[in-house]
Amino acid sequence: MGQTPPAAAPAKPAVIRRPPAYPERPPADPAVVARGKATYGLRCTFCHGADARGGSGGPNLLRAELVLNDKDGELIGPVIRNGREGMPKMDLTAEQVVEVAAFIHSFKVGGYDVSRMTPLTIVTGDAKAGAAYFGKTCAGCHSVTGDLKGIGGRIPDAKVLQQSWLVPGSGRGEGASRAKPWTVTVTEAGGKRTSGTLVRVDDFLVTLTDGEGARRTFTRDGDVPRVELKDPLQPHKDLLKSYSDKDIHDVTAYLVTVK
Ligand code: HEC
Ligand code: HEC
């Protein structure tokens, strides 16, 4: 006769209470975080790491007391503006500071990493709406059968793809080194124009590399010669402010389908 084994005492749920590694914060607007991430990628990743846990020379920011006590940039801002030993001062706008702070604070908010733009949020974008947005906003400069042909296949990681169109040149954590060089046109007093890639410019001199790869330097005296600088990525810097969270996910969902 089988005997019913005594029922095991219900296991007491193990309650492990650790002090929170990072203060709980309400999740920030994902569009603000995305812009902060873009700025952070260009200006901070190199030293503090893409995940803010430390990089070449910069400390882990998520463990820094100053960062823990910061709410929306009021403590991080002065560090950015004044610099620190081993950290150059940077003139970000007040808005950029708030965005960068929101990005840094977005790590581990309630266990959900907004800043990482999880694939889930990317695939929930509406590719059709993204195509329409692309037609309206991007098609003046790009074409998915031309310069962006096969971009979804070329950049299979949706997160990298998203970063590549949000801030071209910032991709793969390589920072500003991948940014496109500025171009410059110098018009001398007699009307002679020389265009090329900007090497350096200040109030007294402008140096460029011309079409033949030769370095040319011009002395400046006020408005002579006339110097016109062009940042090839200016259109993208301007657009960054206008994207909503939905636009960002829709456009990425669309670009993923461009194989
Ligand atoms: C060239 C490397 C470099 C870059 C670029 C850089 N940092 Fe730093 N950062 C450092 C170093 C080194 C320290 C530590 C300085 C010290 O010990 O006082 C630091 C310290 C900080 C601190 C203070 C941490 C603390 O413990 O008090 C904050 C906040 C910070 N950085 C934020 C940023 C942000 C945001 C950016 C981008 C906008 C940035 N840093 C760009 C190197 C860098
Ligand atoms: C006013 C022109 C202009 C507009 C508008 C514009 N771009 Fe760009 N885009 C550029 C330029 C210039 C570059 C940098 C040169 C290059 O990489 O060919 C660039 C680069 C890119 C790159 C990187 C290309 C690569 O192969 O790595 C992507 C992706 C991109 N843009 C997507 C977009 C999307 C998506 C939009 C709309 C939301 C958009 N662009 C709007 C001009 C523009």
User: Tell me: the pLDDT tens digits for 216-228?
Assistant: 999 999 889 999 9
Q: How many whole angstroms from its chain centre is CA 242?
A: 15
Between 176 and 186, where is the model more confident? 186
Q: 170 CB under 6 A from ligand 2?
A: no
pLDDT at 145: 94
Residue whose structure tokens are 């949000």: 166
Asked if 28 contacts 100 with a C-beta cutoff of 8 angstroms, the reply is no
Asked if 38 contacts 179 with a C-beta cutoff of 8 angstroms, the reply is no
pLDDT at 24: 61
pLDDT at 36: 94
Closest CA to 77 of 100, 106, 55, 51: 100
**pLDDT band at residue 78 under the 50/70/90 scheme:** very high
pLDDT at 119: 40
φ, ψ at 18 (rounded to 5°) = -110, 150
User: What are the residues whose beta carbons fall under 8 Å from the beta carbon of 25, sequence distance 6 or more?
Assistant: 105, 109
pLDDT at 16: 42
Q: Averaging pLDDT over each range in 5-9, 107-111, 191-195, 238-242, which range is the top one? A: 191-195
Q: Whose CA is nearest to atom 1 of ligand 2?
A: 235
Q: 98 CB under 6 A from ligand 1?
A: no
* Average pLDDT across the chain, whole number: 80
Q: Whose CA is nearest to atom 40 of ligand 2?
A: 138
Q: State yes or no: pLDDT of 140 exceeds 50.
A: yes
Peptide bond into 59 cis (omega under 30): no
Dihedral sign, Cα of residue 99, residue 155, residue 57, residue 115 = positive
Between 48 and 15, where is the model more confident? 48
Measured distance CA(171)–CA(169) in Å, rounded: 6
Q: 173 CB under 6 A from ligand 2?
A: no
In terms of Cβ atoms closer than 10 Å to its own Cβ (0-12, 13-18, 19+), residue 32 is buried
Measured distance CA(194)–CA(208) in Å, rounded: 9
pLDDT digits (tens, 9 = 90+) for 87-117: 888 999 999 999 999 999 887 633 334 444 4
Q: Whose CA is nearest to atom 22 of ligand 1?
A: 79
pLDDT at 236: 83
Torsion of CA 27, 30, 34, 39, to 10 degrees: -50
How large is the average pLDDT for residues 70-76?
92
Dihedral sign, Cα of residue 20, residue 21, residue 23, residue 27 = negative
pLDDT at 50: 85
